[in-house]
Amino acid sequence: MLGKISFVTHQKELSGAVSQLLARTEVNPKQIYVLGNSEGTLHTMKYQLEKSPRFAGLVLAAPPGYNITDLARSQIEAQVTALANAKEIMAGYDKLIADFLAGRPFSPDPALPQGINHLVQSFNNPGSLPFSRELLSTDAAQLISQITSPVLVVIGKKDIQGGTGRLMALPWRKLRAANRMSPLPTPRMPIIS
């Protein structure tokens, strides 16, 4: 599996699980619901958008509130913000991430803390590619805005991995504007916090 892990391999695993369920005579294919947690919410949403049969509904527990690149950036920024050279550190980090997302080879930045170089270098580990690049490019808010089946989002307001972020601010407005979500208090995608 080294160097072959990707969203596709995760989708194959999920498809295999669904096939096992469908092989059981007592399972109604129109009543399969899925629960995804954290990163797993991304896989369940991608399956729902790209594969068949579709789930009857999704329960998304602790989905990332931001795209993963922004989430990681916010976490690094929170750690360096008190440093005198925080802006320079973040600019260097942004360049390393942009290079990574563009597929350029990793080259450590000697001006950055060693831990930041190690973090970005870990994304470039051949054993985790292409998955790490796909993961950093994925935006839960963008995915959920495309889902048309019922979705229950369970997320804590104080979630240290991203909180509600854009997940609260962006998609709900878009979905309401597109009349794909009923107005509160009876939403198509309720949130439990």
Write out residues in the chain with pLDDT < 50, as ranges: 166, 170-193
Q: How far apart are CA 62 and CA 156, in angstroms?
A: 7
> What's the pLDDT at 66?
74
pLDDT of residue 161: 58
Name the pTM for this structure.
Answer: 0.79
User: What are the boundaries of each domain within the chain?
Assistant: 7-66+138-192, 68-136
Alpha-carbon span 98 to 107, nearest angstrom: 12
DSSP state of 31: G
